[in-house]
Structure 1
């Protein structure tokens, strides 16, 4: 069994992780086979990044560092894409 890959990225978009960014994140996460989770602290709690409701509940403001974990056949690609989305401010600015 492979260990999950992890990464982190700071929220730099003005509104943080709210409705639109949450939807973009979950849609991207669902495009991968791997299980993907996120947290605002390395210790957790971790939530399923493919669940719009759970991601929106995180309500992370600008400046929060999001921690991601991906585990599965395309984990490396999934993690790279999600970190890229966050670093790109969800394509909003």
Structure 2
């Protein structure tokens, strides 16, 4: 099992657009991928489930914890943390219009 964490600075947090981007990216990997908001202890949710990710309502300035298991687990975690670090590929101007 691989694990990673990343600090999220998205202006509005894990709202609709970032949640969709995160789950779409997670679904491109065969590994089982889970996300935790409260801490590395969990509770863990399926990172491929848009309903569960959106329901987590992670606010700005929160650390996201990922864990993955499977053949491409390391690649999945690297891609997901990079997406969060890139602010979900949204500029600050875009984030304020969400």
TM-score, L = length of structure 1: 0.95
**Aligned match of 1:36:** 33
Runs (4 or more) in structure 1 with deviation over 3 Å come to: none
Which of 24, 45, 48 is equivalent to 2:46?
48
Aligned positions, number:
90
Could you tell me which runs of 5 or more consecutive residues in structure 2 were left unpaired when the two chains were aligned.
92-98
Alpha-carbon RMSD: 0.5
Could you tell me which runs of 5 or more consecutive residues in structure 1 were left unpaired when the two chains were aligned.
none
Separation in 2 of the partners of 1:88 and 1:67?
16
Separation in 2 of the partners of 1:21 and 1:48?
15
**Aligned match of 1:12:** 9
Give the superposition deviation at 1:23: 0.3
Separation in 1 of the partners of 2:76 and 2:40?
19
TM-score, L = length of structure 2: 0.90
